[in-house]
Structure formats: structure tokens, C-alpha cells
Amino acid sequence: MFKYFLGNSPSWFKWTIVSFLVFNVIAFFAVSGTVMGWIFIAEFIFCLAMALKCYPLQSGGLLAIQVLALGLTTPGGPSIDHGVYAEVSNNLEVILLLVFMVAGIYFMKPLLMYIFVKLFTKVKSKLVLSVFFVTISAVLSAFLDALTVTAVLISVGLGFYNVYHKIHSSDSDLDDDHTLDRKQMSGETLEQFRSFLRSLVMHGVVGTALGGVCTIVGEPQNLLIGSKMDWEFLEFFLKMAPITIPVFFAGILTTVVLEKTKIFGFGQTMPPVVRQIIEGWMDKRDQERTDKEKFALIIQGVAAILLIAALALHIAPVGFIGLGLIVIQTAFMGIIEEHSLGKAFEEALPFTGLLVVFFVIVAMIHDQHLFKPIIDWALAQDPASQPAIFYLANGVLSMISDNVFVATVYIGEVEAAYNAGKITKETYEHLAIAINTGTNLPSVATPNGQAAFLFLLTSSLAPVINLSYGRMAKMALPYTIVLTLVGLACVMYYL
């Protein structure tokens, strides 16, 4: 049984999970619910950190089942306003987005590869490419949403890696003149290419955080805070601008410094042999492209325009727009077999399962009131220093929990304090801005805080470019420091 338990993951990892499960039962009778809750959070973060050893759905899922079995939270139901069901219900839009939008992006892969290969081969400077990735991810995240942009980044990264891998592992006819050295293509070159892709994708996901904080539609918690405060799109943008705009430019400057100094795993350029392979592959694809494939590219282009328009105008929840995207693309491209549609859903569904498991932990945090002492302490401070304290408290908690959940808890408490007459309207607005920026900016420190980061960590791209939890946290560290400190300085100065 032990041999098959958690499959091919290392024995020490299996024993660790077993010891967690045994220890938790003993500890449950010895310590309080609060202590037990923090123990489970630490264990769950460990499971996320070991994502490359074992997908966290299994190891984290066993812990989540134990949380429910020990009564630290309840499964809940439609008529109950707490528990796992309530958390899933509150985040249904994110779940629909993952199920349908990521599948919709799958059918756009040929168009994305066409655009990005042209971009990669035309732009020779890694610095320019990195700044472009951060900027375009930020702009798209401000109007669309971070998970959709991350799905695009994952598709592009996988597309490039697969082209290289296919030619490296086969006697490809791209090598007619025998100029490609097989030895040169493996070993160090492969590591350099992985490093190149890693740095670009990390620049991109940080860009999603930089853009996501700016607008009411950028992140789920922005919409929650904006609706509580009755702020429209433009008003929300202007309220956040004194903090978000300086932070955005600080983020761009950090990208430039990281690429110039080549520290924290950034700065690797595309190896010449890889550029040769990708350019050769694109030339060959351009020559061999059939009329059907050309027509499919046109359909994908039209679908992309419709997607951007629908998301920018917010005509429906994001998941519904994704479903519409699937229908339009598959109908006009003639993809009508069930098994052909099934492949599109393979990427996102394991992560959707993991996200629901994560909501069990979030429900436990809620039911055990783990964050309440910190909130009470923050509200008891001098009103002049409250925005900075709230910003930092939200930032720290967002690193270990989910930033949407942290924002929900904090804005709820602040709203209650305002309704009770404990704080003024001006303080209420300042705290709302501090909560929004606090949950969005410092949370880039770990994959726990941002759904986009967690999606990248558990995607099929992470293992092929050796992007582990630790490496992700290390690469995000310079961004975390700069974004947190610049954000804090702006909060202290403007609020």
C-alpha cells in the first residue's frame, strides 16, 4: 500500500504526509482550535512547496479531508453562510473562469504561437522583451483578468518548449543542412533555454499583479471592495492611482535592473541554437500552412477581438465569456468531436480541484477566526497610522492565505466599524485603498497569495522549466521588496 500511496513521490515525502495525518489527530485533543488551524496552514503550505514532487491536490486534499473530519470547518450548504460551500459559492466566478476560459485559450494556441514567435524572433534584446512582457501582462490584467493572462503565458511557454523538445528528440527535417549539433542542443543549452523561459514567464506573472491592482476588474477582491465603496471603473482607478502608478513604474525599473545585473535567476538570453530552431520551425510552418489552418488563424483572431471587447465591457461573468469563446471557435473551425474538446479542459481541471481544496483551508481560517486578533489590533491603532498598518497586515496575511479571502475579511470588519460609527468616511476610504493595495502587491511573495502564481506553479509548464515553489519565491523576492516598500511609502504619504 505504501508503494502505491502518493505514487512516485519520494519516500520521505510520503512519510511526512503520514506523520502529519497522525500528529494532527493527537494534537487536536491537546491544543486549541486556533493553534490547530495554524498547524494545518503550515502543513498545507508545505504541500504547495512540494508541488514538483507530488501534485498538491492529493497531499493537500488529505489534509483538507482531515480538517473537515476534525470539525475545524463544515462542508456547509446552499442555505448556510459559512463553511466550504460558502467559500466556493463566493469564488464561483473564479472556478467558472478556470474551467471555461483556460479551455477557450487552448483553442487559440496556434494564433498565440504565431504572434509570439514573430515577436521573439524580431526582438533580439532580452531586456526589451522582458519589459514588453511585464507591460503587456499589466495592461491586459487591468482590463481582462490575471488568470486569463497567465493561461496565455503558460500556453506560449509550453508552445516554445515543445517546439524545441520535438526537434531535439527527433531527426527533424528542420536540419536538412545538418547545421544543428545535437550535443549542443542538450545539457547546458537546454538549461539556458529553460532559464530564459522561466525569467520571461515570471516577469509576465508579476506584470499581472502590477496591472491587476489598478482597476476594479483586475482582481476579484477589487470588485468586492469597489462595490462596497460604490466606486465605478474610473473612480476606482483614480482612487488607487497615487499608489498603483508609482508602483507600476517601480516594477518596470526592477525588471530593467534584474535583467542588467542578472541576479535572482533573471537575465538569461535565448541561446543562438534555440533561436535558429524556432526561426526554422516558423519558416517551415509558414510554408506548409494549409488553407484550413489559415482560416483557423482568422477565426482565432476574430475570437480574440471579441474576447477582449467582451471582457473590457464586462457583458457577462468571465467564465461565461470563456464558454462563448469555446463555442465560437470550435463551431467555425469544425471541431465537433467530444474527444477533441476534452483535451482543452485537461490543463485547468486539476487546478480547479486544488482550488476547492484550498477553499477548505480558507473556510477553516474563517471559522476558527485565525486573523481576528490581527484585525482587532490594527483597528485599535491611531487612525493616522491605520492605513499603513492595514497595508502591511493585509500583505503578510495574503502571503500565507488567499488574497481574495483576506480582503473579504478585512473590508467586512472595516465596514462594520464604519457602520458602528467607530471610523469616519475618510478613514473608511483610506482603509479600503490600503486593503486593496495590501492584498494585491506584497502577495506576489509566494504562490499562495495570488491565484495566477499558484496556477503557474501547478501547471504543466512548471516541471519542464524547473519552476519550483522555492525558485518562484526566490525570483519574486526582488519584486516583493520593491513593490511592498514603494506601495508602503505611497500609502504613508498619500493616505
Mind listing the pLDDT tens digit for each residue in 47-81?
A: 988 888 899 999 999 999 999 999 999 998 888 88
**In the numeric block, which cell numbers belong to residue 241?**
492611482
Computed on alpha carbons and rounded to an integer, the radius of gyration of the chain in Å comes to 23
- Please tell me the number of Cα atoms within 13 Å of 467 on its side-chain side: 33
pLDDT tier at 235, thresholds 50, 70, 90: very high
What is the residue type of 10? P
Q: What is the mean pLDDT of residues 236-245?
A: 95
pLDDT tier at 179, thresholds 50, 70, 90: low
**Which of 58, 18, 39, 8 is closest to 354 using CA atoms?**
58
Sequence-ordered list of residues with C-beta below 8 angstroms from that of 22, at least 6 positions apart, any chain: none
pLDDT tier at 479, thresholds 50, 70, 90: very high
**In the numeric block, which cell numbers belong to residue 461?**
509548464
Sequence-ordered list of residues with C-beta below 8 angstroms from that of 214, at least 6 positions apart, any chain: 138, 142, 237, 240, 241, 244, 245, 248
Computed over every residue of the chain, the mean pLDDT equals: 90
Statement: residue 232 has pLDDT above 90: no
> Would you list the DSSP string of 38-49?
HHHHHHHHHHHH
Q: For residue 341, with 0-12 CB atoms within 10 Å meaning exposed, 13-18 middle and 19 or more buried, which class applies?
A: middle
SS3 content of the chain, % helix, strand, coil (to 5): 75, 0, 25
d(CA 462, CA 475): 14
pLDDT of residue 308: 85
pLDDT of residue 175: 55
DSSP three-state, residue 355: helix
Tens of pLDDT, residue by residue over 218-227, are 888 898 898 8
Say what the pTM is. Answer: 0.88
Tens of pLDDT, residue by residue over 11-50, are 999 999 999 999 999 999 999 999 999 999 999 989 988 8
pLDDT tier at 416, thresholds 50, 70, 90: confident
Tens of pLDDT, residue by residue over 451-473, are 889 899 999 999 999 999 999 99
Which one is predicted more confidently, 479 or 319?
A: 479
Statement: residue 357 has pLDDT above 90: yes
Residue that has been written with the C-alpha cell 466606486 in this structure? 231
pLDDT of residue 218: 84
**Which of 476, 494, 433, 491 is closest to 251 using CA atoms?**
476
**Which of 25, 18, 20, 23 is closest to 72 using CA atoms?**
25
d(CA 112, CA 102): 13
Sequence-ordered list of residues with C-beta below 8 angstroms from that of 283, at least 6 positions apart, any chain: none
Helix (H) or strand (E) holding 152: helix 146-168
pLDDT tier at 184, thresholds 50, 70, 90: low
